[in-house]
Amino acid sequence: MNATILVVEDDLRLAKLLQQELSHDGHRVEVVHNGTDALVRADERAFDLVVLDLNLPDMDGVEVAERLRSGGEFGASILMLTARGDVKSRVEGLYAGASDYMTKPFSVQELLARVHVRLRERARPAEVIRHGELVLEPGTGHCAVAGQPLALTSLEFRLLELFLTHKGRIFSKEDVEDRLYGADRLPGSNTIEVFVSNLRKKLAAAGMNGMIQTVRGMGYVVR
């Protein structure tokens, strides 16, 4: 699909390369070189996807992602680029609302493939998943409880969607990691436990306490 993509990258050579490759792939591409300009452009028009560098001259990419997601209305996927390959940096980006991440240096072909996957997810036919008063719309990234919007990060949304589309199935931590990260699993981290905990808190605050259950020694389930 042809999409509108915002590239936020202060390395001018890399920014130009990404613009050329994404444009050649049929997308409309805008480029900015700092976080401030990224926030301004995202406020001015709607984007389908943001390619966001973690290390920007004026603010950290994590802060940019957090501010984009803070209102709960920014539905674009965020693909974060980072020269930091450590688990802590990756997790910070995911907590901030990144949909995916790539560690520099990376293959342009892999980046194009990941962009395609994220855009394909956004282009899914309209679908509504209901659980009591909770409504989840995978195609738009919208979640609401009793008609009130519930702001979730991209990973929290995908986690909730996984549980709701497989009600009654028990997912171990490893199962969830495989579904969310694939080959980019973060071995040895407690990322999934933290994501589940944060999701539970948000659901409880919205009146959906106890929705995600823990089955001791096995994993998590929504019944």
The reply to whether 4-122 and 129-221 are identical in fold is: no
8 Å CB contact between 102 and 111: yes
Q: What pLDDT does residue 152 have?
A: 87
8 Å CB contact between 196 and 220: yes
Q: What are the residue ranges of helices labelled H in 9-107?
A: 12-24, 35-44, 61-69, 87-96
Contacts of 24 (CB under 8 A, 6+ apart): none
Could you tell me the residue ranges of all domains in the chain?
A: 4-122, 129-221
CA 134 to chain centre: 20
Q: Which CATH superfamily is domain 4-122 in?
A: Response regulator (3.40.50.2300)
Q: What pLDDT does residue 119 have?
A: 87
Q: What pLDDT does residue 83 have?
A: 83
Spatial distance between the Cα atoms of 60 and 52, rounded to a whole number of angstroms: 10
Q: What pLDDT does residue 135 have?
A: 94
Peptide bond into 125 cis (omega under 30): no
The CATH fold of domain 129-221: Arc Repressor Mutant, subunit A (1.10.10)
Spatial distance between the Cα atoms of 70 and 86, rounded to a whole number of angstroms: 25
Spatial distance between the Cα atoms of 149 and 218, rounded to a whole number of angstroms: 31
Spatial distance between the Cα atoms of 134 and 204, rounded to a whole number of angstroms: 12
Q: What pLDDT does residue 206 have?
A: 95
Q: Which two tokens stand for residue 183?
A: 């080959």
Spatial distance between the Cα atoms of 173 and 193, rounded to a whole number of angstroms: 8
Contacts of 41 (CB under 8 A, 6+ apart): 6, 30, 32, 47
Which run of H or of E encompasses 164?
helix 154-164
CA 184 to chain centre: 14
Spatial distance between the Cα atoms of 142 and 73, rounded to a whole number of angstroms: 8
pLDDT tens digits, the chain, 223 residues: what are they? 689 999 999 999 999 999 999 999 999 999 999 999 999 999 898 899 999 999 999 999 999 998 888 766 677 889 999 887 667 777 777 778 888 888 889 999 999 999 998 888 776 655 789 999 999 988 777 899 999 999 888 788 889 999 999 999 999 988 888 887 765 555 556 778 888 999 999 999 999 999 999 999 999 999 8
8 Å CB contact between 203 and 209: yes
Spatial distance between the Cα atoms of 58 and 36, rounded to a whole number of angstroms: 7
8 Å CB contact between 91 and 112: no
